[in-house]
Amino acid sequence: MSSSEPGAPAEQGGGDAPQRCGLIALVGRPNVGKSTLMNALVGQKVSITSRKAQTTRHRITGIRTEGRAQFVFVDTPGFQTRYQSALNQSLNKAVTGTISDVDLVLFVVEAGSFSLKDAQVLALLKQRIPTILVANKLDTVHRRSELAPWLKSMQERHDFAEFVPMSAKDPKDVARLLAVCERYLPEQPWWYEEDELTDKSERFLAAEIVREKLFRLTGDELPYTSTVLIDRFLEEPGRQVQRMVRIAASIVVERESHKAMVIGEKGERLKRIGTEARQDLERLLDAKVFLELWVKVRSGWSDDAARLRAYGYE
């Protein structure tokens, strides 16, 4: 079962089975673990995570190729219902635009839980597109016996193709979910090379890594209306055995008081953000990274449509 017609299979490596490839959207309210699940499904970090709602702001594509199947996962922003700024409208548009053109939807909720915010996201889903209910964070459920009536109530809310109770932290659960997803992929040639993990550039990933550290290390102090812009991303030419990359980035906030929060006492917080981001980037890019960070105040940027476009949100 799929929302698109099977394409012409392309044989590779002499196997008899046709190739399968399809687009799978991860949707759900903020903080249900979509980005953690995305990284587990891809097998490497391609989407940033933090406790702060709306950490994911862009349509992030992660690619996993296993056997004859290529899974193209799309991590969407958590659908925002509380605030109607230009930024939130842009993020919600990314969600609705994504789920209208995929082969499979993974509707992610916390196992045993269903809130009004979950219901608002579920209302966006089309019945014509197969949807799997992913009951995530199963490891936090104390009474597993309560899951059966909960699953029955969920089936009454939407005609789910399948249910997958799981924990994104459990590799066996992740493998089981991949096997379920494979059945819904159309028979068609792969869209990406076998070793590709994402369609995003290194420059984009660098901005996301810095933003992740910003959100994690400021906690609830800093409003989520802050972003990161890459001013310079240069790979040093030369004969070095190890690749070397120089990155300069600006952390954009809306108020001078927010700037002080980011910098911290004697610059310690900004220094830690830079250190942790650099360490992650060195692993991600397999390179020696030199990272410079600056903090800039841009009042009202999150409600300015022109500035949002300039910052890459459209």
Q: Which two tokens mark 155? A: 């089936």
Q: Does 76 appear as a known binding residue?
A: yes
In sequence order, which ranges of 21-170 are alpha helices (DSSP H)? 34-42, 86-99, 116-122, 147-157
Instruction: Specify whether the CB–CB gap between 264 and 312 falls below 8 A.
Output: no
Query: What φ, ψ does residue 108 adopt, rounded to 5°?
Result: -100, 125
How far, in Å, CA of 29 to CA of 119, rounded?
Answer: 9
Q: Does 73 appear as a known binding residue?
A: no
β-pair type (20-27, 162-165): unpaired
Q: Does 136 appear as a known binding residue?
A: yes
Q: Does 103 appear as a known binding residue?
A: no
Q: Does 33 appear as a known binding residue?
A: yes
Residue whose structure tokens are 């108020």:
255
Q: Does 199 appear as a known binding residue?
A: no
Q: Does 29 appear as a known binding residue?
A: yes
247 DSSP β-pair partners: 233, 291
Q: Does 30 appear as a known binding residue?
A: yes
Q: Does 34 appear as a known binding residue?
A: yes
Instruction: Specify whether the CB–CB gap between 292 and 267 falls below 8 A.
Output: no
Q: Does 78 appear as a known binding residue?
A: yes
Residue whose structure tokens are 């709602």:
53
Q: Does 200 appear as a known binding residue?
A: no
Instruction: Specify whether the CB–CB gap between 241 and 285 falls below 8 A.
Output: no
Task: Write out the DSSP string of 94-136.
Answer: HHHHHHTS-SEEEEEEETT---HHHHHHHTT--TTS-EEEEEE
Q: Does 92 appear as a known binding residue?
A: no
Nearest to 223 by CA among 48, 28, 54, 49: 54
Q: Does 77 appear as a known binding residue?
A: yes
Q: Which residues are annotated as a binding site?
A: 28-35, 75-79, 136-139
Q: Which residues are annotated as a binding site for GTP?
A: 28-35, 75-79, 136-139
